[in-house]
Structure 1
Amino acid sequence: MKQNDVLIRGEHLTKVFGYGKQKTTAVEDVSFAFHEGEIISIVGESGSGKTTLAKMIMGLLKESSGSIEYMGKPRQLKRHGDRKRYWKNIQAIFQDPFSSFNLFYKVEKLLLDCIKLQGVNLTKEEQLRKMKEACSFVNLKFEELHNKYPFELSGGQMQRLMIARIFMLHPKLLIADEPTSMVDACSRSTILDMLLKLRDENNMTIIFITHDVGLAYYVSDTLYIMEQGKVVERGPAEEVILNPQHPYTQQLISDVPKIHSEWDLA
């Protein structure tokens, strides 16, 4: 795995929702540095703040305090053009693929929009070739899907279609928020393998948002463990899992008895 310079850096990020007695701190004083080509998992239970942090990195939520640098410069998202340039290189796959697509657009339109987002002028033949290539990468046949609407596809097909979009866009950073939680075990393995292949081919940084310690250990170079909005432990995946220091990390691992016992025997 080739790991280069820091791609995106967060310093003392905090996100507060509400005011007064209704105030809730979802993310509190979180700092990070994610490198090019690195696979990171942000792990925690529901309500730990991991998805809020992901949305802040994505630029979908504005931080209450703190700052984010992208490629060594302060991130600029105030203007529409700034956000468009940022989102060209920062993409996401969400837990529910159906919420990520316009249900009134056919598959061909969804894929054509990826080509438009890249800002390249292609002939219809070149567009068709790119769409077929993307579908083939995720083991789908464009000819069988292009005229269908998202609601006519299965959850597994939709997740693969989302990965096909990533294949076409070649982002520098992919945020994958529980990307396999709604598919069966066979599809889960296939989707993970596709994402790891994208990382290897494009040196893409991937951030997994997950509650699944086993998945995080399997795919990640680095782990960030979150509890109640704070990062309580971080480090190389093997070090964090095999030698956890924080009680919350120890509890997360003990809640996966089969994996835990296998590690003990290793």
Structure 2
Amino acid sequence: MLKLDDVTKEFRIGAFGGKSVAAVRNVSFEVVPGEVVSLIGESGSGKSTIGRMILGLNPVTRGSITFDGLPVRAGKEYYRHIQGIFQDPFSSFNPVFKADRVFAMIKDTYYPDVAEAEWARRVAVALRDVRLNPDQVLGKYPHQLSGGQLQRLLIARALLLDIRLLVADEITSMLDASTRIDVLNLLAELKARGLAVLYITHDLSLGNYLAERTVVLRGGRVVEMGPTERVFGDPLHPYTRELLSAVPRLHEPWDDAAPVDTCPYHERGGSGGLVEAEPGHHVACAELQRCLRP
């Protein structure tokens, strides 16, 4: 369904844009129907940039992103099948419009010929599917609703379209623990209906909870990917093991230029190639045996 093939994204920097920096480098992976894929990495690893390219919000510098074999092209028909939900739900709503305005815009754009009564029925069904009471949310402004309610409103909006892939970018990071689990369980229910989800997160526990496959990013490159139980249960790349074993230390950010003694990836992995260590389990290392645990 969705395929990224050797995707690189560079941004121009400097007073006259004479220099460039690569935010994403040679990234390749796929998302198939009914699958949840976790895209995991620290801040600045390129996770959100990948999500924005998939949504057509940023162009690809090199490589390709295809959906059903066709190049990604932002537009009405593309967004009928692919939708994104972002970290801050409040930023996704106009503060001067009530919540029902979100659904009115969907009707005006995609279903102008649907009768008002039928549309109201569809909206009510979508809201109940995400465990919201239409009478309690539709007539309210965004500031009158919680973050969890707003995230569910955005998911309900996506359900009103013929959506096949949801790009969920850190959608639980601003929610409290109980609401976070509710939203994750909702994504799991949508997956059971055949919806594919790209779940972008820096939280390994949530990625492990939800996804069948995991892609680990570091410095804009994929360093390991495979079935979640293998990546978490038998991590091969030292960076993945670092993520899984270390308590987060916000005052000690990882230096992308620093060498890693146990793995030659940082000296020889410039091509971004992956070695298949076992069926379906890939790791970025030119000499795999040096990445394995002793």
Give me the TM-score of the superposition, normalised by structure 1.
Answer: 0.87
Q: Equivalences for 1:213-224 in 2 at 5 Å?
A: 213-224=204-215
Which one of 116, 124, 129 corresponds to residue 121 of structure 2?
129
Maintained 8 Å contact 1:115/1:169: no
Q: Secondary structure in 2 aligned to 1:104?
A: coil
Report deviation, 1:256.
5.2
Aligned equivalents of 2:109, 2:62: Cα separation in 1: 31
Which one of 53, 66, 69 corresponds to residue 69 of structure 1?
66
- Cross-structure match for 1:206: 197
Q: Secondary structure in 1 aligned to 2:150?
A: helix
Aligned equivalents of 1:164, 1:33: Cα separation in 2: 25
Residue type at the aligned position of 2:215: Y
Deviation sequence 1:145-176 (CA, Å, 0-9, x none) = 22211122111211121121122224111000
- Cross-structure match for 2:241: 250
Q: Equivalences for 1:13-162 in 2 at 5 Å?
A: 13-19=7-13, 22-77=19-74, 83-119=75-111, 121-162=113-154
- Cross-structure match for 1:263: none
- Cross-structure match for 1:236: 227
Maintained 8 Å contact 2:56/2:73: no
- Cross-structure match for 2:251: none
Residue type at the aligned position of 1:209: I
Q: Secondary structure in 2 aligned to 1:98?
A: helix
- Cross-structure match for 1:260: none
Bigger Rg, which one? 2
Q: Secondary structure in 1 aligned to 2:8?
A: strand
Query: Is 1:163 the equivalent of 2:163?
Result: no
Aligned residues: 245
Maintained 8 Å contact 1:88/1:117: no
- Cross-structure match for 2:6: 12
Give me the TM-score of the superposition, normalised by structure 2.
Answer: 0.79
The share of aligned pairs that are identical, in percent, is 41
Residue type at the aligned position of 1:9: K
Report deviation, 1:69.
1.5
Larger relative helix fraction? 1
Instruction: Compute the RMSD of aligned alpha carbons.
Output: 1.7
Q: Equivalences for 1:187-198 in 2 at 5 Å?
A: 187-198=179-190
RCO higher in 1 or 2 (8 Å CA, sep ≥ 6)? 1
Q: Secondary structure in 2 aligned to 1:226?
A: strand
Maintained 8 Å contact 1:112/1:127: no
Aligned equivalents of 1:255, 1:129: Cα separation in 2: 49
Maintained 8 Å contact 1:224/1:233: yes
Residue type at the aligned position of 1:40: V
Q: Secondary structure in 1 aligned to 2:63?
A: strand
Deviation sequence 1:18-58 (CA, Å, 0-9, x none) = 15774211000111121111110000000001110111111
Query: Is 1:185 the equivalent of 2:177?
Result: yes
User: What are structure 2's unaligned runs of at least 5 residues?
Assistant: 249-294
Deviation sequence 1:109-144 (CA, Å, 0-9, x none) = 111222334335222211111121122222222112
